[in-house]
Amino acid sequence: MPKPNIHPQWYPEAKVICNGQVVATVGSTKPELQVDLWSGNHPFYTGTQKIVDAEGRVDRFLRKYGFSAEEVKAPVLKEGPALEEVKAAAKKEAAAKKKKK
């Protein structure tokens, strides 16, 4: 049994509000809860990607050191002889580094 006069008021039907709409009712110590994200608009649950962070780590790095995005773009190789050449070159570089040590 809870002690009297020490616990906050309990609201069994507290409203969860996101973007001005009531999205759920839960038990809480506050009558209304304002949220920015909930499972109905979270990218993980909806399967869509929403950019929350406008500038990522790579963008900050490029800006900090004066690179443009066009300078650092590399072709994406998925299959074919060019991919095999890139893999072979990477193996040669790794072997050369290993010999230097």
N-to-C CA span, the chain: 71
Q: Which residues lie across from 32 on neighbouring strands?
A: 15
15-29 pLDDT, tens per residue?
999 888 899 999 999
> Token pair of 83, please?
């991919």
38-88 pLDDT, tens per residue?
888 877 777 776 555 566 777 777 778 877 766 666 555 566 666 677 777
> Token pair of 27, please?
């038990």
Reduced to 3 states (helix: H, G, I; strand: E, B; else coil), residue 38 is coil
Closest C-alpha among 39, 37, 18, 15 to residue 27:
15
Asked if 47 contacts 29 with a C-beta cutoff of 8 angstroms, the reply is no
